[in-house]
Chains A and B, each alone.
Chain A
Amino acid sequence: MTGLSLYALTGAGLTGLGLYGLIATRHLLRRVVAFNLLGSGVFLFLGAAAARGEGADPVPHALIITGIVVALSASALAVGLVVAQARLTGRATLPEEDTHGDDV
């Protein structure tokens, strides 16, 4: 039980780190990385919950696999938008958070 709690708490920690990164970092590619950390923290928490009792429960495992694939496709779209934004403005940050402050 203690081993599983360790993984669940790691998942909880990753979720918090991901949320922090999503809010605090300004570079949009780092935000996508943080979004992935947030998601995988949730998966790890769910996976630890699935491993309780005798034998792992395959239903959450299937949900997690679905989640990993959907997270990848969302990341690909997000990264595509980040690159498009950077090509239009020369920066990979949101305009309202721009700290350069010269011409925007």
Chain B
Amino acid sequence: MMPVFDATLCGLILAVALAAVAGRDVFRAIVFFIVYGLMLAVAWVRLGALDVALAEAAISGGLTAGLFLVAYGRLAAVGAADEPAGLLNPPAALAGCGLSAALGWAWFALPQPDRPAPQLAEALPRSGVENPVTAVLLNFRAWDTLLESVVLLTALIGVLMLARVGAWPGRPGLAQHVRPGGVMAGFGRVLPPVGLLVGVYLVYVGAERPGGAFQGGTVIAAVGLVATLTGAFRPPAVDAPGWRAALVAGPLLFLLWGLAGAVIGNGFLTFPPTLAGAAILAIEAALAVSIAVTLAVLVLGAPEQAARE
């Protein structure tokens, strides 16, 4: 039964990806990409990577999809959404097949892994959390995660710099107009409270079970997007002081704890085992807020018109 399921799933993933690359128009490519993200999340469950499945479903199936749809709408508004005729490009096909073949060959040439499990299982009780993925993200490889949160912030600065002259300081994204009492308006009131609960739960439970700041933060960002796109919430102008506090809270707290580790622990970003659990929970909560706000503004995009006071 399961081999049939795996084979069907992999076949569908490849077919949907092919449709996203070679399908007829840009809008269809985006729709197929959304389906692709959700199917890939199922594949992650099959591979035993529940944390990754949550991140993939929330990010590829949710935020990236929203990002592309918002961009498609803006391109359509300037008449740039239609596509020049595409022909089969033999050199590109050769490059693609070559890369696939090389990776396929590499898979069968890979040596059996030297299991890291004993070291990890030994170190896990000292990490302060029970979920090994959270332990790796926020303790053993905290450097990666700290720099990742800075990458997010840098991308956001890049996106905001693309605001047009005269649109600064406005509200992020386009102003949304929704018919009062319509389906969208109702949707925007019903979904956010439930989504917010799921997001906060995912952040909190990340210490023990699949979840964490990135998965939960992404869900909270999606809640903010739904509320904004359905007109239930109007984001404040980008120069409001609350924005900056929310954006830097996570990286800043992370950095301060890292420095504290240099003073009271064994060096920068090392947490003493007795304090690690509380520290990770606090950092995850602050990171989730920063990630949620950063991702939501990344998807909404730079301000389109100056806020009228």
Contact = CB atoms under 8 A, between A and B. Distances in A.
Interface string B1-15: 011001100100110
Given A29-B68, A80-B302, A6 B6 contact: yes
B80 A33 contact: no
Interface in B267-309: 291, 294-295, 298-299, 301-302
Given A81-B162, A86-B78, A44 B40 contact: yes
Given A6-B10, A76-B298, A45 B107 contact: yes
Contacts of B113: 49, 52-53, 57
Contacts, number: 270
A17 B151 CA distance: 27
Contacts of B81: 92
Contacts of A36: 33, 60, 64
Interface string B123-135: 0000000001101
B29 A33 contact: yes
B158 A80 contact: yes
Nearest to A82: B71
Interface stretch (B41-49, B178-186, B245-253): B41-49
Given A37-B17, A65-B55, A58 B86 contact: no
Interface string A14-50: 1111111101111101101110110010011101111
Nearest to B110: A49
Contacts of B92: 19-20, 23-24
A33 B20 contact: yes
Interface string B63-74: 110011001101
A18 B21 contact: yes
B95 to A, nearest CB: 6
The A interface, classified by DSSP as helix, strand, loop or mixed, is helix
A20 to B, nearest CB: 3
A73 B286 CA distance: 19
Nearest to B131: A58
Task: Bin the interface of chain A by size.
Answer: 35 or more
B86 A56 contact: no
Contacts of B165: none
Contacts of B37: 40
Contacts of A37: 17, 20-21, 33, 36
A9 B108 CA distance: 10
A20 B36 CA distance: 17
Contacts of A86: 74-75, 78, 80
Given A23-B92, A75-B67, A62 B141 contact: yes
A68 B55 contact: yes
Contacts of B212: 65
B93 A24 contact: yes
Contact of B49 (A19, A53, A61, A98): A61
Contacts of A65: 51-52, 55, 133, 137, 212, 214-215
A55 B33 CA distance: 30
16 contacts: A7-B10, A10-B13, A12-B103, A14-B17, A15-B100, A17-B100, A33-B20, A33-B29, A33-B68, A47-B49, A49-B113, A50-B49, A65-B215, A76-B67, A79-B68, A92-B81
Interface of B: 2-3, 6-7, 10, 13-14, 17-18, 20-22, 26, 29-30, 33, 36-37, 40, 43-44, 46-49, 51-52, 55-56, 59-60, 63-64, 67-68, 71-72, 74-75, 78-81, 83-86, 88-89, 91-93, 95-101, 103-104, 107-108, 110, 112-113, 115-117, 120, 132-133, 135-137, 140-141, 144-145, 148, 151-152, 154-156, 158-159, 162, 164, 212, 214-215, 291, 294-295, 298-299, 301-302
Interface of A: 2-21, 23-27, 29-30, 32-34, 36-37, 40, 43-45, 47-59, 61-66, 68-70, 72-77, 79-84, 86-87, 90-93, 98-100
